[in-house]
Amino acid sequence: MQRERVTLEPAFVLHHREYRDTSRILDVFSSRHGRLTLFARGARGPKSKLAPLLMPFRPLFLSWTGRGDAAQLAGAEPDGEALPLAQKHLMSAFYLNELIISLTTRHDPQTQLFDDYARALRRLSTDAQPEPALRVFEKRLLESIGYGLELDVAADCHYQFAPSQGLYEVREDAAGAYSGRTLLALREESLDDAQTLDVARRVLRQALDHCLEGRELRTRNVARSMARRGNA
């Protein structure tokens, strides 16, 4: 079987781990090939030219050879400047990476989601607050994997959400009711006030937890632990 060769594919490293003495195994999210694993030989150590490049959140052009999960990294070049993520936003960026690893299928091209991810990282590098960028990415990720929210609601009505049946209308005084106005703002990705952001967080959290099927996200646990320490 002829080995596949891919050249200068726009990509990001989502996660990396050590492999043998001088190599790394990379979890990569690419524009036209989706999520895949690459073996990067000689990518560790002080003399490695690749080591400074193969880091999360840096736009890259990657080249590789091979098929399936045994592909070998052949080269890496920067795709512009590294994104200047503030320390306080790093956990949010790692959360995006964990969502992609947990909810996308390997070798499934997700060109639009790749663009949405790059846009979310750019917003995290410039916006003072991370929540709007996170909520928009969560919404678009759900759409890309076939679990998008049906947000055709009336502004003056109230709704509850169940992952198995979506949104359904309830009385205004029902426990946990969401106003149609805030849900329409989520549909339009206009998350400009605290109430709308809170509703978006709760609805999207329910939908994501349903897709995760009980799997815990490490970044959520770390964020909760950091919040407890900060409030202690």
Tens of pLDDT, residue by residue over 163-189, are 989 999 999 999 989 999 999 999 999
Q: Which two tokens stand for residue 79?
A: 């795709």
Domains of the chain by start residue, with CATH: 5-78 (2.40.50.140), 87-231 (1.20.1440.120)
Residue 51: per-residue pLDDT: 86
Scanning 1-146, the segments in alpha helix (DSSP H) are 90-103, 111-126, 131-144
**What pLDDT, on a 0 to 100 scale, did the predictor assign at position 3?**
64
What confidence category does residue 227 fall into, taking pLDDT thresholds of 50, 70 and 90?
low
131 dihedral zone (left: phi>0; alpha: psi -120 to 50; beta): alpha
The phi-psi region of residue 197 (left if phi > 0; otherwise alpha if psi is between -120 and 50; otherwise beta) is alpha
Q: Which among 171, 206, 211 has a CA at the least distance from the CA of 186?
A: 206
Q: What are the tens digits of pLDDT across the range 112-139?
A: 999 999 999 999 999 999 999 999 999 9
Q: What is the pTM of this model?
A: 0.93
Q: b vs e for 182-216, b when ≥16 Cβ sit within 10 Å of the residue's Cβ?
A: bbbbbeeeebeeeebbebbbebbeebbeebeeeee
Residue 160 has pLDDT above 60, yes or no: yes
Q: Give the integer Cα–Cα distance in Å for 129 and 198.
A: 14
